[in-house]
Amino acid sequence: MQTTISTILKRKKHGQKITMLTAYDYPTAKLADAAGVDIILVGDSLANVVLGLESTRDVGMDEMLHHAKAVRRAVKKALLVGDMPYSSYQKRPVAAARNAKRFAQAAGCGAVKLEWFPRCLEVVRQIRKAGIPVMGHVGLTPQTADKLGGFKVQGRDAESAAAIIRNAAALQEAGCFSIVLECIPDAIARLITQRLKIPTIGIGAGRSCDGQVLVLYDLLGLSDRFHPKFVKAYAHLGPLILRAIARYRADVTAGRFPSRKYSYSMRREEWERLRKILL
Ligand code: KIV
């Protein structure tokens, strides 16, 4: 059965945890969906994780849609969420609803996600007016990390914690169906989760959140970027892939690959006929 916004809201009501993962391509999205993950986010972490860019601010709508379409082809059950890149709503808030519609119409996303910024409430309302569900994102917001003192835990002092709590409540009020809480103390995430009717999805926000999200390539041990404390690698595919490629290279170099097993043959009489044609 297809996971919908209502499925996600019911999870909180029934105290059932929500699982969310990023995916950027067809094969990994297919695996995440088959494993029963509830929400698949085509995250703008695409920028760092897949495209080798410095900042998530460097990825644009066209690249996001290109990957979202590939993920859409793979996902049969999970709720698909498109992550709004910085330029699609923060740089030009007037373009936000139009860009959200592109995620829905061109890539079949069931919702979009956007990060907190001063005008985000008006942007959420515009996108909701266009009929598209919105997931909020507070705490450490990577697109504007420079304004937050870098990639650091947020809300460690009373004032900044109060601001995050207020922002989360305001996003619920503006119509978000859920909120990502990134890199904040456990106690603050617990308070927000208790206060809000909509589900909270944590990343570096402790175990009290209604759900959890991780970047898939971090979980798989496939990314060489800096790993914050909250990342748990459930596999170490990087060294495994490196070994496989090195063996392939060694086999080709030594003439062991492709062996007969990996080659096509031709019937003898056809070979003889060919020789006559060529003579
Ligand atoms: O882009 C991303 O990966 C995110 C995280 C919250 C997982 O936004």
Assess whether the C-beta atom of 179 lies below 6 angstroms from ligand 1: no
Assess whether the C-beta atom of 215 lies below 6 angstroms from ligand 1: yes
Residue 250 makes CB contacts below 8 A (sequence gap 6+) with 256
Task: Over range 184-198, report the average pLDDT.
Answer: 98
Assess whether the C-beta atom of 203 lies below 6 angstroms from ligand 1: yes
Residue 129, pLDDT score: 97
Task: Give the tens place of pLDDT for each residue, 16-61.
Answer: 999 999 999 999 999 999 999 999 999 999 999 999 999 999 999 9
Tell me which residues are annotated as active site: 182
Query: Distance from the CA of 260 to the center of ligand 1, in angstroms?
Result: 46
Q: Which atom of ligand 1 is nearest to the CA of 20?
A: 7
**DSSP three-state, residue 9:** helix
Share of the chain above pLDDT 90, in %: 96
Residue 24, pLDDT score: 98
In the predicted structure, residue 149 carries a pLDDT above the cut 80: yes
Residues in the chain: 279
Which amino acid belongs to residue 5?
I
Q: Which atom of ligand 1 is nearest to the CA of 49?
A: 3
Confidence of residue 7 (pLDDT cuts 50, 70, 90): very high
Pocket test for ligand 1, best of 86, 203, 212 (most atoms within 8 A of CB): 203
What Cα–Cα distance (Å) separates residue 45 from each residue in 63, 172, 270? 12, 24, 54
- Average pLDDT score over the chain: 97
Query: Distance from the CA of 113 to the center of ligand 1, in angstroms?
Result: 9
Residue 226, pLDDT score: 80
Name residue, tokens 């929500």: 18
Residue 227, pLDDT score: 84
**Structural domains of the chain, ranges and CATH numbers in brackets:** 5-235 (3.20.20.60), 240-278 (no CATH)
Task: Average the pLDDT over each of 49-63, 79-93, 122-136, 220-234 and give the range with the smallest value.
Answer: 220-234
Residue 252, pLDDT score: 98
Residue 223, pLDDT score: 81
In the predicted structure, residue 151 carries a pLDDT above the cut 90: yes
Residue 135, pLDDT score: 98
Assess whether the C-beta atom of 218 lies below 6 angstroms from ligand 1: no
Task: Over range 75-95, report the average pLDDT.
Answer: 96
Confidence of residue 279 (pLDDT cuts 50, 70, 90): confident
Q: What share of the chain is helix, strand, coil (3-state, %, to 5)?
A: 50, 15, 40
Q: Which atom of ligand 1 is nearest to the CA of 142?
A: 8
Which amino acid belongs to residue 129?
K
Closest CA to 168 of 147, 137, 190: 137
Task: Over range 88-102, report the average pLDDT.
Answer: 95
Confidence of residue 225 (pLDDT cuts 50, 70, 90): confident
Q: How far apart are CA 82 and CA 29, in angstroms?
A: 13
Report the 10 Å Cβ neighbour count for 71: 27
In the predicted structure, residue 68 carries a pLDDT above the cut 90: yes
Q: How far apart are CA 181 and CA 171, in angstroms?
A: 12
Closest CA to 42 of 65, 12, 58: 65
- Whole-prediction pTM: 0.96
